[in-house]
Structure 1
């Protein structure tokens, strides 16, 4: 990998880490200022609706369709042709999304009912969600235009500005807590403003590159039609995941005030280590796997997958155990203050237990999927993902009915458990297929590796169980005392874990790939 690529990867990685840290700070401040009641539930649903569109359209189907077409035009055509493509795509995209935004704002009451039918029994909550959505829905239009601008800049090797852009949303939301924490409406205003700022932040660099022409409508343009044609199959694949998320949010809204928020905060705690470690490993191995497949180096391909699996187990298993055993102290320390009361802490803890059980499933998927993409095989992961999501939706419905029948107060945790089970199903299907195809063959030494891993994790788990104490003990401590105690225990647990790995003979050299595998 060249120095330029390394530098670009470092910039993107640094900006991504900054965004995730700010996102975590944002969630802590949300919990402190607004808690996990009806108002926060309404805002999270109002934010989730444009985010669903963003994941399926802006950062999903559109980006995957637009970037290859634009890159081809830039590479094989002239600068004027690239500039013309930007004009016609930006004009058409803005026109279509303006209409979608208008319809979304007008249909806000229907969308709130669709995503959160439980709000229908509370007119005030439904009305608040509707008002919030009319401010947050335009974010879909702005973030879609931002995704287009980011694709153009990345094609010209400009990575820093697009990578920094997500930080703007978190910064705006954090600022609102200092400006006015009396109503969640201020959060909706911040989302609207952040969408405008994120798009505007890209424009000076586009102008400097000579790629900011006057937008024009071009629905009949052959290039636009080609982009739309490429988008359709991706949107079909993405729609299943969105339907699953829609079902979970709809069921959570039927469980009463706080359920949507408890799931959100628990998911954010689980996503933090997943985003830092698991996604990073998947990103690192994809280029190596692609090069090895191109060289028809089957053994090296298998070795790299084996390296990825062992590395994610060394990092992911203790993370999953920590999230599960230390769920109560983590939630109490990070969220348990201000408007986020002891009941909210306990309910979020239950959800985190369920998500933690699926942490390794989510992590393994991030490592195994590159084994298919590197071979230019995209249909199999999509098919397995659909199977897993359908199983998860069936389990969500089943657990929801059982919880209602048994009147279980933590029914929302059942939805999290179904999501975790879905991740495990997906991971096992992917692993079985890689084994069946002969793309992955476990390398020698797995029994000894597993024994070392088991020993170190058992030692760390015993330490955490001994030091965790009861949830009431943590809630009785002050905010500062909780933070100091949590940090001390986390550092001690990490030292015990890695110290045990060293004592049982696991060395960093075991995870250094040979030069041919890089």
Structure 2
């Protein structure tokens, strides 16, 4: 995680690249007769998983600390919103050009060429990297020229000082596009050669540099709330330059690993040998998927940038979405990672009943396990906001975060379930249907967000955007299930609804007990940060314990199975 910047409301979870149309060629393309195929990547699956898990944990931790430092340095209003908007621009341009296509197309192609080519895919990878470097460099130059127009597209109708700040930061942040693309491609090259450590740990370098940048900024200018017209060239240079330096160091941190796996890069310009037509065909639907999400983000950031005064805007929204993604990443992604190979194998063998059973089981498990976290987010929103974000320039402004977190709690489970259903399509493999489904889903989200913008005051705008997200995630899950049924059969809707009902009862019980505890605890979290930590610890323990007890009483199988597994391991 490189800082937790919000990119897409339906972003692909970290560490789980989807298979693309044609991905089955990875296993069916034979090595060329008369040549020696490259050796299989070293290391056991368990060892690689342990490395990735450790790196992901530290990366998520430092990424979250990075976001806390940014909030404490800039505050949650105009300057913080301008920085968040300027940072989203290169992220979305990267996603539009390469992000989704890289994970769904290029990784399978690199694996196939590594197995099939006499040189282990060395020349092909060199050509691809050469083309990517030239394309990304050209994209950065065009983006720098278009920076003022990109500001207008994403920043909305803000005053000139705000737009000037976004543009000034963009000139320093837009080169992130180049380093993000190169870093992602180098990561793919390393992964296809069996090296997982460097790609998992390199983002930590990025996070550490940005954290140090925030420390330098506070040391030079203090952690005080300022307005956009007070952001001097020196402040902008420290902030934007440090952020750019972080991603540059992350990219450089991958270079030693490339030499370790035996990859040597040299310029190759015979791009016709890449089979660009095939790459375009495979990546077309994923490109559509990303393009639709990009449109949704443009609308979202235009609406969020309409906030006035001390209302939650892009930075607060991004902070809350980061909390949502942390819960999703720790719990739901683990479940999806375990189920995806099973569903892929079942689809490949035509065992669609087994695939439907896995999908049903995953839906029930994700719902049951994430429910107590959602309750904690909703009930403990105030103390969580104070404990995590009430520092520095954001001191005393945590009240703008808690309403957004309450609504985000309602979006957590729908988001995870919609992701699981999307991965069911990718397991078959099919990128076309998720791209088509994404069109009405984003349309629903945008429509609801526009309605919320028109109906509510800007003080509730960020929370209203989360309402649009939650409804669109539900729509995504329902539409996906509708189109999956003819292909894989019944997914056990009755069993899913029974589990949903029991989980709802347990969650409501935990909510009532949690609210009672919050009333009985002395003082208010907003007045004392240490009390906020106490309320989070005590309230979280009570909510978790109550939910667990009710889940066991109601015999929610997905929870009882986890408890049984833990007891067995402790017994050993």
When normalised by structure 2's length, the TM-score is 0.82
Q: Distance in 2 between matches of 1:357 and 1:62?
A: 31
Q: Distance in 1 between matches of 2:469 and 2:130?
A: 39
CA RMSD of aligned residues (A): 2.7
Which of 460-469 and 128-137 deviates more?
460-469
Q: Distance in 2 between matches of 1:216 and 1:505?
A: 62
Question: Matched residue of 1:217: which SS?
Answer: coil
Match for residue 410 of structure 2 among 357, 360, 366:
357
Which of 251-260 and 421-430 deviates more?
251-260
Question: Matched residue of 1:255: which SS?
Answer: coil
Report deviation, 1:186. 2.6
The correspondence of residues 358-507 of structure 1 with structure 2, limited to 5 A, is 358-403=411-456, 407=457, 409-442=459-492, 449-450=499-500, 452-469=502-519, 473-477=524-528, 479-506=529-556
Alignment-derived partner of residue 89 in structure 1: 128
Match for residue 197 of structure 2 among 149, 160, 164:
160
Q: Distance in 1 between matches of 2:493 and 2:163?
A: 56
Q: Distance in 2 between matches of 1:450 and 1:142?
A: 44
Q: Distance in 2 between matches of 1:319 and 1:283?
A: 20
Which of 429-438 and 106-115 deviates more?
429-438
C-alpha change, 1:228 and 1:211, in structure 2 (3 Å) is farther
C-alpha change, 1:195 and 1:88, in structure 2 (3 Å) is same
Contact conserved, 1:293 with 1:301, CA < 8 A, in 2?
yes
Question: Matched residue of 1:118: which SS?
Answer: coil
Match for residue 309 of structure 1 among 363, 367, 379:
363
Report deviation, 1:30. 1.9
C-alpha change, 1:210 and 1:441, in structure 2 (3 Å) is closer
Match for residue 54 of structure 1 among 87, 94, 114:
94
Deviation readout 1:188-213 (Å, 9 max, x if unpaired): 21221122212211111212333222
Report deviation, 1:10. 2.5
The total of aligned residue pairs comes to 505
Q: Distance in 2 between matches of 1:290 and 1:220?
A: 32
Contact conserved, 1:393 with 1:418, CA < 8 A, in 2?
yes
Q: Distance in 2 between matches of 1:408 and 1:210?
A: 55
The correspondence of residues 230-241 of structure 1 with structure 2, limited to 5 A, is 230-241=282-293
When normalised by structure 1's length, the TM-score is 0.90
Deviation readout 1:248-287 (Å, 9 max, x if unpaired): 0011112235512221222122222112112221221110
The correspondence of residues 110-259 of structure 1 with structure 2, limited to 5 A, is 110-119=149-158, 121=159, 123-181=160-218, 182=221, 183=235, 185-224=237-276, 226-256=278-308, 258-259=312-313
Report deviation, 1:166. 2.2
Contact conserved, 1:459 with 1:496, CA < 8 A, in 2?
yes
Which of 62-71 and 381-390 deviates more?
62-71
C-alpha change, 1:375 and 1:97, in structure 2 (3 Å) is closer
Q: Distance in 2 between matches of 1:195 and 1:160?
A: 17
Alignment-derived partner of residue 516 in structure 1: none
Contact conserved, 1:91 with 1:216, CA < 8 A, in 2?
yes
Report deviation, 1:449. 4.1
Contact conserved, 1:87 with 1:216, CA < 8 A, in 2?
yes
Q: Distance in 2 between matches of 1:233 and 1:239?
A: 10
Contact conserved, 1:92 with 1:218, CA < 8 A, in 2?
no
Structure 2: gaps (5+ residues): 1-41, 222-234, 565-572
Question: Matched residue of 2:459: which SS?
Answer: coil
Alignment-derived partner of residue 320 in structure 1: 374
Structure 1: gaps (5+ residues): 514-518
Contact conserved, 1:329 with 1:471, CA < 8 A, in 2?
no
Q: Distance in 2 between matches of 1:394 and 1:480?
A: 41
